Amino acid sequence: MQVVIAHADPGTLSRFVRVLSHVGHEVRALATAAEAIDACRERPPDVVLVDVELCRDDGQDLLAELKGDPDAYRSAVVLLERHDLDLDAAVSALRGGAQDFLVEPVSDAELVARVDAAGRTKVLQEELVAQSRRLETLIFEDVLTGLANRRSILTSLNGMVSGARRHHRPLSVAIVDIDHFKLINDRQGHAAGDRVLSAVAGNLRRNLRAEDQVGRLGGEEFLALLPDADAPAAATAAEKLRACAGTAGVTVSIGWATWEGETAEELLRRADEALYAAKAAGRDRVEGARATVPRRT
């Protein structure tokens, strides 16, 4: 475990380093709070052990500096306090991100126990964050392609429709369908089909604007959301997507529609009808939806 210690008293600092090094920790000893902050930013440790008096003498709020840093905030901070530790000060430090207190004088056994406990808590917190991120990925991401899954992309569509209605901004969508995909699975196997899906997904993602979104509707169908794109812009974007799909060794058919005041479901239905028209016309082509509803504001 990596530990940073900041203490103004050379004797105390030396003892802490000796004890923690003896039990196998990698220790960096520093004389000022400013040095400790710099060291933690350069290479965030598992635990920071700092004398609160040193912080006051330096005129720096080490706790706030560390917890406000995008990397160093993960370090567990243990404050070395005097025997007259004030309750209000302790509560304030805990709410500010301190992990624990050590009240001097500190025995060797207590030093090791508290530092180890702080380090273990830090590891458990990181594991919890990592697990939460994994669960979030499962909820919102299509495992095979890495794109937004059906639930996520349709949720985004509803949000974009609401935004377009509120701000009177254009919005278009495009449904992309891989042509003859069943034949790929039947003739080359599902592993080959998965590779094609991943390749097409990557091409779609790379050929959209930063503000656009793309997700997998299911099977071999993808949905691209094109905010601030009117009909000409949507037609251009759809044709670009059709062309880029060819680099994955397949062709795609695309149906697009521009929002005309209807619900998200109606917008998606019109794009789907345009997709069927593209397939009926011979595939490997783009078709736009006809305007079928009056514009609502």
The burial class, CB within 10 Å (0-12 / 13-18 / 19+), for 68 is exposed
**C-alpha to C-alpha distance for 105 and 122, rounded to whole angstroms:** 25
List, by residue number, the catalytic residues: 220
Is this prediction's pTM over 0.75? no
Q: What is the pLDDT of residue 132?
A: 73
Question: Using CA of residue 109, residue 111, residue 114, residue 115, what is the dihedral sign?
Answer: negative
Instruction: Answer yes or no: are the C-beta atoms of 74 and 126 closer than 8 Å.
Output: yes
Tokens 């609401």 found at: 162
Helix (H) and strand (E) counts for the chain? 11, 10
Q: What is the mean pLDDT of the chain?
A: 88
DSSP state at residue 74: G
94-153 confidence digits (pLDDT tens):
777 777 888 888 889 988 998 898 888 888 878 877 777 777 667 789 989 999 999 999
Q: What is the pLDDT of residue 59?
A: 43
Instruction: Answer yes or no: are the C-beta atoms of 272 and 255 closer than 8 Å.
Output: yes
C-alpha dist (Å) from residue 223 to 208, 241, 284:
12, 11, 17
Six token digits for residue 25:
């920790």
